[in-house]
Chain A
Amino acid sequence: MSMKVHTRQVDGITILDLSGRITLGEGSVTIRDAVRDVLAKGSNKILLNLGDINYIDSSGIGELVSAFTTVRNSGGELKLLNLTKKVHDLLQITKLYTVFDIKDDEATAIAAFAK
């Protein structure tokens, strides 16, 4: 199953609801394009909702890291929301859990962005 992205705005934050797989090829490209589109439209506060991501490989992890650095280099913030156990475990193993700002609740995540 490929990855799908649904974009919405809440209190000036762009939320990308992702579902499916983030793997080499389509999933990785989809997330890269989605983040670029958001930045191109002038928003640089992005919340990636990974609650419906059922699989991610090393390319997908790399894509999350690239998205994080791209947004940060543009002066913005990128946070992660609703990690599944699989994604959580992978970020622990790769020591990226402390790199990302990870939230379990959307309202808390929205409030955590710099005003």
Chain B
Amino acid sequence: MADSITSRVSFTLDSSLESVDKVEQTAEQYAKQAGFDEDTVPHIAMAVREAAVNAVLHGNAYDKHKRIHAAFETTSDSLIIRISDEGPGLDPEGIPDPLAPENILRGSGRGIFLIRAFMDEVNFRQLNPGTEMTLIKHRTPAQPGT
């Protein structure tokens, strides 16, 4: 089925918390424009924030010489966000289950879990170097946004 792009923007940003905030704010703006409801918009924004934190903190380790890349795309079917870093790579299968009893009291390790909880599809691609995470939220016919 044709999936025409109606809006697209991309950024290349420093490995900083300010970049995380910018990516989160853009996600919120795009989610609103795509017509997601008031409960879903913060979930999308949080998932994208978590992906950006992952790129800045775990991927690039705040390295000032490395950048993160964020691309936002609204199609007729979906909101698609791609976040990538220039780090050593991430094995999504190697991430411990934060709901397991032995992990439930850990002070970290819930970011990817929340991304998966709030988005419809989450895909990882190794870039050598770096990791690209693609987050997809499907629009429903009731959403009137462009």
Residues on A facing B (Cβ under 8 Å): 23-25, 57-59, 61-63, 65-66, 68-69, 86, 90, 93-96, 99
Contact = CB atoms under 8 A, between A and B. Distances in A.
Contacts of A23: 49
Contacts of A94: 98-99, 110, 113-114
A47 to B, nearest CB: 20
Given A86-B42, A94-B98, A94-B110, 10 more contacts: A58-B50, A58-B110, A61-B110, A62-B107, A62-B109, A65-B105, A66-B107, A69-B105, A94-B113, A95-B104
A58 B112 CA distance: 9
Q: Name the interface size band of chain B.
A: 20 to 34
B104 A24 contact: no
Nearest to A90: B114
Contacts of A68: 105
A24 B57 contact: yes
B65 interface: no
B53 A24 contact: yes
A90 B109 CA distance: 14
Contacts of A61: 110
A94 B108 CA distance: 12
State the main secondary structure of chain B at its contact with A.
Answer: helix
Contact of B105 (A24, A57, A90, A99): A99
B106 interface: yes
A59 B108 contact: yes
B20 interface: yes
Contacts of B99: 94-95
Contacts of A24: 17, 20, 53, 57
A25 B106 CA distance: 18
Contacts of B107: 62-63, 65-66, 69
Contacts of B110: 58, 61-62, 94
A57 B53 contact: yes
A65 B103 CA distance: 11
Contacts of A63: 107
Contacts of B111: 57-59
Contact of B106 (A59, A62, A95): A62
Contact of A99 (B49, B50, B104, B113): B104
Contacts of B80: none
Interface string B74-117: 00000000000000000000000011000011111111011001
Contacts of B104: 95-96, 99
